Structure 1
Amino acid sequence: WQALKDPKVLRLALIYFLWVIGFWGFSFWMPQVLKSLSGWPPSVVAWSIAIPMSAALLVQVYCGYSSEKRNEKRWHVATTLFIGTIGFLATPHSPSPEISLFFICLTAVGVYGGMGVWWTMPTTFLSGAAAAGAMGLINSSGNMGGWVGPYMLGFINGHTGSFTYGYYVMGACMFLAALLILTLPKSMEHKED
């Protein structure tokens, strides 16, 4: 009950809902989007997906290291989400397959890069059963976003014949999530004693 009454927990739940709309919308549809933008055969698309996922892994590891070294969380997570926003908004307008792959890399960095640092934030002000309840609430809201994102992108693509507007919506969700992270109190940078 403490988690349900805490405004910081509710804000974290909203942030994660918005974030995961982009996260799962991107992850679920990435091969199809890359194929439609590039015109590459499925075998090339399959191998090409390793590039954005590798970039995202490297950024996630670096983001965690940098966050720990600088003792800062909010800007590390928000920056990756802003990068993802750029990727979402630019991908549909790529003039070549290689540039579309570059913007898909930015999107992957955005949706995956801050995830490790993100999950350290609730435990800075909650512990024990309250932390478990808060993390459950936050993750559950993300699960709802995980349904909304892929469904929404498929629905928009089915009605418009393009991923463009769906990518705009996911970019907007990522941007709002980044802004909301920056509204979190600085006290969430450090574990309370």
Structure 2
Amino acid sequence: MSIQAAAAPGSAVNTDKSFIDRTYAKVFWRLVPFLMLCYVVAYLDRVNVGFAKLQMSKELGFSETAYGLGAGIFFLGYFLFEVPSNVILHRVGARVWIARIMITWGVISGAFLFVNSEATFYAMRFLLGIAEAGFYPGVILYVTNWFPSHRRARVITVFMAAIPISGVFGNPLSGWIMDSFHETHGLSGWQWMFLLEAIPAVIIGIAVFFYLDNRPSEAKWLDAAEKQVLERDLAAEERTKSDSPHSIATVFRNGRVWFMSLIYFLFVAGQYGLTFWVPTIVKASGIQGNFTIGLVSAIPFLVATVTMVCLGRSADHFRERRWHLIIPALIGAAGFVVSASTGDTVIAIAALSVAAGGVLACSPLFWSLPTAFLSGAGAAAGIALINSVGNLAGFAGPYAIGALRDATGSTAAGMYVLAVTLVLGALCVLIVPARLVNR
């Protein structure tokens, strides 16, 4: 989905700042809220297993390690099919491919009601990872077709605010479904939760096919002058990426891409360590009742929503990327340490909220780094490679926490490990040259 500068012959591109800002605002409100809705549904279907655990593990006899392995095995399927999926999206367009992804994962997520053993749990999580592979990096790639780098941090952070928003609304919703529908028509509450929360993915997936346009030149809701502004800015940015890997093969040999993968791995470990285990951590603090646990679990995600949006706006305003990543990562690490160290429920939830604000802000802000130097087919493969390698932490993190919890009887050791990964991630960001990413 390459961007072509296509100003009409003899016509001048409008350079009025207010017109340019209005154009980008128009694009933002047309695309970003809808993409955000898609990701709310995606993330809820990915991590609602954390809530299902409260009933499912007891009913099916899963150990903490077995749950952690099942939660994380999603990312093995995700890893294997991420790059091929994004390359296909680059060729056929986001409209068709994102619709396919959403419909497929909706069907598989709903089929989780048939899980009856560790083996079926592992198999379904693996299939869900295959189905969803390509969605997130596909959206990141799609955003680069509409917004230049200096406007991208705000867009990506608002899009990724879907993660904490899915926690704010999804956790109480999941708890309510599990309590209200338990044993209705012979199904447990966790089975009803998987079924009901899968339906929106299929419906919205169908809507994607009719709503999204692949690139500005196809958008009937933009006039010629608005299209020219977008195409001029995007073409100008492409010319600054002369040293970018432009083919799939060169991406795999590019040291920058692999270093970005390492950074993302360290941040994602903290992200999924948080999202998969928040209900368990909250329950361990003394909170009882699935709906009440859901409400309390929403607090850290509410804090993270505000933090993400504010930091994204700040990063674009100052055109500074590194310290906008380093500081939240260190604050998130401190939050994990305090949450694991205290025996006071209120302090633990407050510290967990600080951790959520820090760690969940890292992922969207991170994507300002690689998208500042990747372009063309190299961007499709590079973004997918970074995301797939980074998301292996989604396998390692939950599994490690589960194993440590079985070994120690506490989540504290796991929280300390997550804090260390965030500190290491911050140190790696510090190594990245500012001239490479501050655009």
Query: TM-score w.r.t. structure 1 length?
Result: 0.94
The corresponding residue for 1:143 is 391
Which of 413, 418, 422 is 1:170 aligned to?
418
Q: Distance in 2 between matches of 1:49 and 1:181?
A: 30
Q: Distance in 1 between matches of 2:433 and 2:250?
A: 18
Does the 8 Å contact 1:8/1:184 carry over to 2?
no
Indicate whether 1:154 and 2:402 are aligned.
yes
Q: Does the residue aligned with 1:40 lie in a helix, a strand or coil? A: coil
The corresponding residue for 2:288 is 41
Does the 8 Å contact 1:82/1:174 carry over to 2?
yes
The corresponding residue for 2:369 is 121
The corresponding residue for 2:202 is none
Q: Does the residue aligned with 2:384 lie in a helix, a strand or coil? A: helix
The corresponding residue for 2:37 is none
What is the identity, as a one-letter code, of the residue corresponding to 1:190? N
Indicate whether 1:99 and 2:347 are aligned.
yes
Q: Distance in 2 between matches of 1:121 and 1:166?
A: 28
Indicate whether 1:66 and 2:314 are aligned.
yes
Residue by residue over 1:156-181, the C-alpha shift from the partner in whole angstroms, topping out at 9 and shown as x without a partner, is: 00111011111111110111011101
Shift of the alpha carbon at 1:119? 1.3
The corresponding residue for 2:280 is 32
Query: Which of the two has higher C-alpha Rg?
Result: 2
Does the 8 Å contact 2:267/2:363 carry over to 1?
no
Which of 179, 183, 188 is 2:427 aligned to?
179
Does the 8 Å contact 1:60/1:115 carry over to 2?
no
| Mean CA deviation greater in 142-151 or 115-124 | 115-124
What is the identity, as a one-letter code, of the residue corresponding to 2:301? M
Q: Which has the higher contact order (CA 8 A, sep 6+)?
A: 1
Q: Distance in 2 between matches of 1:179 and 1:190?
A: 17
Q: After the TM superposition, which segments of 4 or more aligned residues of structure 1 sit over 4 Å from their partners?
A: none
Q: Distance in 1 between matches of 2:350 and 2:314?
A: 24
The corresponding residue for 1:76 is 324
Indicate whether 1:6 and 2:278 are aligned.
no
Q: Does the residue aligned with 1:18 lie in a helix, a strand or coil? A: helix
Shift of the alpha carbon at 1:45? 2.0
Q: Which runs of 5+ in 1 are unaligned?
A: none
Q: Distance in 2 between matches of 1:95 and 1:190?
A: 42
Q: Does the residue aligned with 1:73 lie in a helix, a strand or coil? A: coil
Q: Distance in 1 between matches of 2:301 and 2:392?
A: 23
| Mean CA deviation greater in 14-23 or 150-159 | 14-23
Q: Does the residue aligned with 2:374 lie in a helix, a strand or coil? A: coil
Which of 112, 130, 149 is 2:378 aligned to?
130
What is the identity, as a one-letter code, of the residue corresponding to 2:434? K
Q: Distance in 2 between matches of 1:28 and 1:131?
A: 29
Does the 8 Å contact 2:300/2:357 carry over to 1?
yes
Q: Distance in 1 between matches of 2:295 and 2:305?
A: 16
How many residues are aligned here? 190
Does the 8 Å contact 2:268/2:363 carry over to 1?
no
Shift of the alpha carbon at 1:183? 0.8
Does the 8 Å contact 2:264/2:363 carry over to 1?
no
Does the 8 Å contact 2:373/2:437 carry over to 1?
no
Shift of the alpha carbon at 1:95? 3.5
Residue by residue over 1:44-84, the C-alpha shift from the partner in whole angstroms, topping out at 9 and shown as x without a partner, is: 22101221101101010001100001110111011111111
Does the 8 Å contact 1:52/1:104 carry over to 2?
yes
Q: Which runs of 5+ in 2 are unaligned?
A: 1-248
What is the identity, as a one-letter code, of the residue corresponding to 2:374? L
